[in-house]
Amino acid sequence: MSIPAFGVGTFRLQGQVVIDSVRNALDVGYRAIDTAQIYENEADVGQAIAESGVAREDLFLTTKIWVPNYAKDKLAPSLKDSLARLRIDYVDLTLIHWPAPDNGVSVDEFMTALADAKAQGLTRQIGISNFPIAQTRAAIAAVGREQIATNQIELSPYLQNHKLVAFLKDQGIHVTSYMTLAYGKVLKDPVIGQIAQRHEATPAQVALAWALQLGYAVIPSSTKRENLASNLLAQQLRLTDEDMAQIAALERHGREVSPQGLAAEWD
């Protein structure tokens, strides 16, 4: 199995807002949806999917296990609860949301529990999120690198994570980029704007196309149907080598998310 290159994110969206976002995304052509237990919107996402009429086998659904559910006796039951909220029998991909080194549950324990959930048929693939190199090595030691479908990490033109990305590529672990637009900051960047003008594209399309051309999967979110449709067009945008070099020069190590107690030491 593989990770879809383009999906819709649901971070910070709840209630009717996320129902409308997912419904519109499915309507304009998205088939991959990313959620998480801590987003507290799995039931809303499930409702939108149920009402969409899109067949389950045509969808790729991702959720993430939240920190209190990492212990081996809690992980699978929590995933079953997620399935009930999502109104489905399995998810396509389940991730450990953060390494949470101070949580008291070892990487070996939660990765083994996650692999067991896969063996039970609760999820088709498993992976990790926000894992730097040291914790990724520990996850590989626990279950084998072939089991880890992706590492979902914050990655944008302002945070390019070269060292971690190179390690993941060497290990054959796919990269999923979240916050690719850096909370919208890159949309105001003059270099991104100039590239967008040259291609008669939007800045969001340029940033997403940059990530796609580097081989990453992307999961941008939007509450606006027109933006959801516009973002999808990034798949048809081909940036030049000069464009890619200009974006590469925008690196500023501008991390937007690093919650205390959940993040391990970044590379």
Question: Catalytic site residue 39?
Answer: yes
CA end-to-end distance (rounded Å), the chain: 29
Q: Residues 122, 127, 129, 135: what is their CA dihedral angle, to the nearest 10 degrees?
A: 130
Exposed / middle / buried, residue 21 (Cβ in 10 Å: 0-12, 13-18, 19+): buried
> Which structure tokens are listed for 187?
């949309």
Strand order in the sheet with 123-129: 8-9, 32-34, 60-65, 91-96, 123-129, 148-154, 174-178, 217-218
Q: For residue 257, give every residue at least 6 positions away whose Cβ sits within 8 Å of its Cβ, in sequence order, or none.
A: 130, 154, 179
Whole-angstrom distance, CA of residue 254 vs CA of residue 220:
18
- Structural element, H or E, at residue 248: helix 241-248
Whole-angstrom distance, CA of residue 78 vs CA of residue 75:
5
> Would you tell me how many other CB atoms lie within 10 Å of the CB of residue 92?
20
Catalytic residue among 39, 70, 158, 178: 39
With beta carbons less than 8 A apart as the criterion, state whether 123 and 93 touch: yes
Whole-angstrom distance, CA of residue 235 vs CA of residue 6:
8
* Cα torsion angle, 192, 218, 16, 28, sign: positive
According to the annotation, is 97 in a ligand binding site? yes
- Point out the annotated binding site for substrate: 97
Positions annotated as catalytic residues are 39
